[in-house]
Amino acid sequence: MTFTPEVNEKRDMSKGARDGWLVRHWWIVLLVVCLIGAGAYFLFAKKQSGASKQGEGPATPMVPVVAVEAKKAAFNLYINGLGSVTPVNTITVHTRVDGQLMEVLYREGQIVSLGDLLARLDPRPFEVQLTQAEGQMARDVAQLQNARLDLERFQVLWKQDSVAKQQLDTQEALVRQLEGTVKNDQGQIDSAKLNLVYCQITAPISGRVGLRLVDPGNIVHVTDTNGLVVITQLQPITIIFPIPEDNLPQVLARLKAGGPLLVEAYDREMRQRLAVGSLLTIDNQIDPTTGTVRLKAIFPNERNELFPNQFVNARLLVDVRRDATVVPSPAIQRGPQGTFVYVVKADRTATVRPVTVDQIQGGEASIRTGLSPGELVVVDGAERLREGTRADLRPQSSGAAENVNTQQKGY
């Protein structure tokens, strides 16, 4: 394309005017360039900061936990068994003579002592028998006295050779016969008196009286199977409970060492200790069907804490580990690699510590290896922990502390 001289001149004039404007307003151009540069810088910095935060990820939160120190203490080893309270003596009171029950002098459920009067039978038939026996004896005693007088006369006459020896011997035999009769009469009298004693029915042992089995007015017999009442001895009382046969050598070793073995009785929930006694004896054979052996423990039962045929949990103390490392049992965790605990280090991070548990008893665990006294172990909140998690230590709540103390005491 070809431009004319006039067009070229106009273009030269327009270019000069533009260059003149730029020279006069150079600061405006410089300000616009600075603003564009600043905007680009801030935009780039923001993108870099977002990318950096995205690369770092969210901050690791702190996990609230409750931790306690492992302590060095004596640790009791128990053998547990579900037992039944068994009275030392249970007596069914029977009448020893036949007769009519006239009066019942005990209250159902009453505590009676040895020799207390329980009931009375009608004594009149035996009083009649006693009168008859005494009358028979009086007659036989009179005959005996007369026979002895005759014997004395025969002895004098025999010395004077005035009576035959046979007659003297016959009189002596008669005297001995009457002496036997009098002795038999005395037995009849004693029997009638004993029957009168049996009309007063007394307690053969001390204990609690059961429900009444026969009401007054009924005729009772010696051959009655149910009897009049049942008395159960409560003090002392025993508990029979089984233990596994594998624990038997340990118990036998303690018995051979001498000294009583402590036995504690708890309710079914193992929350309340009912009584404390001692091991009395061990059964003479193992039950092959269950693989257990029965033990009998005796308890004073002074406050009647134990009741006959009551089911209780018995705990036999077989050993005491001195200076053992002890932690609450909730601190023990189990995984594919075995048992472990979470230990809170000085920088408040949690770490997994494999441990070897010796025994767990009464809410406490004895640690054989892997833990030292004084280290902090997590007892609550361990399910949210991982290796290296920061722990936010919280104080132990009163309810949790009471629960741990209750487990440790066995209540």
- If asked whether residues 152 and 263 sit together in one domain, one would say no
Residue 18 lies in a domain: no
- If asked whether residues 292 and 191 sit together in one domain, one would say no
Residue 143 lies in a domain: yes
Full residue range of the structural domain in which residue 219 is found: 115-224
* Sheet of strand 229-232, all strands in order from the earlier edge strand to the far edge: 90-93, 229-232, 207-209, 111-112
- If asked whether residues 152 and 251 sit together in one domain, one would say no
Residue 356 lies in a domain: yes
Residue 319 lies in a domain: yes
The per-residue pLDDT for range 130-188, each reduced to its tens digit, is 999 999 999 999 999 999 998 898 888 888 888 888 888 898 999 999 999 999 999 99
What average pLDDT does the chain have? 84
**What whole-number distance in Å separates Cα of residue 111 and Cα of residue 118?**
11
Instruction: Give the Å distances, CA to CA, from 336 to 333, 339, 340, 348, 354.
Output: 11, 8, 10, 26, 11
- If asked whether residues 143 and 245 sit together in one domain, one would say no
Give which of 322, 324, 342, 329 is closest to 408, Cα–Cα.
329
The first and second tokens of residue 377, run together, are 């172990």
- If asked whether residues 128 and 207 sit together in one domain, one would say yes
Residue 220 lies in a domain: yes
Total domains in the chain come to: 2
pLDDT given at position 46: 56
Q: What is the band of 406 on the pLDDT scale with cuts at 50, 70, 90?
A: very low
DSSP codes joined into one string, 76-126: EEEEEEEEEEEES-EEEE--SS-EEEEEE---TT-EE-TT-EEEEE--HHH
- If asked whether residues 168 and 271 sit together in one domain, one would say no
- If asked whether residues 182 and 159 sit together in one domain, one would say yes
Q: Among 224, 252, 273, where does a domain finish? A: 224
Angle at 408 between CA 338 and CA 296, to 5 degrees: 95
Judged by phi (left if over 0) then psi (alpha if -120 to 50, else beta), residue 84 lies in: beta
Contact status, residue 173 vs residue 151, Cβ threshold 8 Å:
no
- Top pLDDT among 257 and 220 is at 220
Angle at 344 between CA 338 and CA 346, to 5 degrees: 140
pTM flag (> 0.95): no
**What whole-number distance in Å separates Cα of residue 105 and Cα of residue 90?**
20
pLDDT given at position 408: 45
Residue 382 lies in a domain: yes
* Residue 290: alpha-carbon gap to chain centroid: 21
CATH number at residue 390: 2.40.30.170
pLDDT given at position 45: 55
Q: Among 195, 224, 253, where does a domain finish? A: 224
- If asked whether residues 191 and 285 sit together in one domain, one would say no
- If asked whether residues 346 and 246 sit together in one domain, one would say yes
Residue 100 lies in a domain: no
The per-residue pLDDT for range 196-253, each reduced to its tens digit, is 999 999 999 999 999 999 999 999 999 999 999 999 999 999 999 999 999 999 899 9
**Phi/psi at 313 (nearest 5 deg)?**
-100, 120
- If asked whether residues 202 and 339 sit together in one domain, one would say no
- Indicate the DSSP class of residue 306: S
**What whole-number distance in Å separates Cα of residue 367 and Cα of residue 69?**
13
Q: Among 224, 252, 283, where does a domain finish? A: 224
- How many CA atoms, within 13 angstroms, populate the side-chain half-sphere of residue 357? 18
User: Percent of the chain beyond pLDDT 70?
Assistant: 82
Give which of 275, 403, 277 is closest to 328, Cα–Cα.
403
The first and second tokens of residue 177, run together, are 């016969």
- If asked whether residues 268 and 357 sit together in one domain, one would say yes
- Top pLDDT among 28 and 352 is at 352
Angle at 111 between CA 110 and CA 113, to 5 degrees: 130
The per-residue pLDDT for range 309-350, each reduced to its tens digit, is 999 999 999 888 888 888 998 989 998 888 999 999 888 888
End-to-end distance of the chain based on CA atoms, in angstroms? 112
- If asked whether residues 216 and 242 sit together in one domain, one would say no
Residue 365 lies in a domain: yes
Sequence-distant (≥ 6) Cβ neighbours of residue 398 within 8 angstroms: none
